[in-house]
Amino acid sequence: MSVLTEMFRNLFSRPVTILYPAEKVPVPPGFRGKVTIADEKCIGCSKCSVVCPARCITMTDSPREVEFKGKNLARKKKPRVKLYKCIRCGLCERHCPADAIHLTGEPASCGPSREEVTA
């Protein structure tokens, strides 16, 4: 096909690109995006921090009461995730006993300071 034919054909066809960010590409099932933590579910067991191969989860002080399997537990710690170091392996999600940490469909976050890319 000559260049001219190709050019004229494309003049009357729909573009293959989309108007991002006005239009969004559907997120496929199983996509590993930004890590989020449900504080109200987290029992502060540190398992996510132990299994993380990128060493991006640290446990920080957060005294609180959490309901777990019908019991109220007094917890001292909660995880903080350095999203800029996360490799989206999903091990934290797989090993969490309280279903508190998840990889969402949101793409990786970015920001001018480390605080803004910490969950």
Interface positions with ligand SF4 (CB under 6 A): 35, 37, 42-48, 51-52, 54, 56-57, 79, 81, 86-92, 96, 98, 100-101, 103
**Helices H / strands E in the chain, number of each:** 3, 4
Query: How many CA atoms, within 13 angstroms, populate the side-chain half-sphere of residue 58?
Result: 6
Which residue's CB is nearer to ligand SF4, number 57 or number 117?
57
Contact 37, 67 (CB under 8 A): no
Closest to ligand SF4 by CB, 96 vs 117, is 96
Tell me which residue has tokens 């729909």: 14
Amino acid at 10: N
Taking the complex as a whole, the smallest distance from the CB of residue 24 to ligand SF4 amounts, in Å, to 23
Q: How far is the CB of 37 from ligand SF4 (least distance, A)?
A: 6
Tell me the closest approach of the beta carbon of residue 44 to ligand SF4, in angstroms. 5
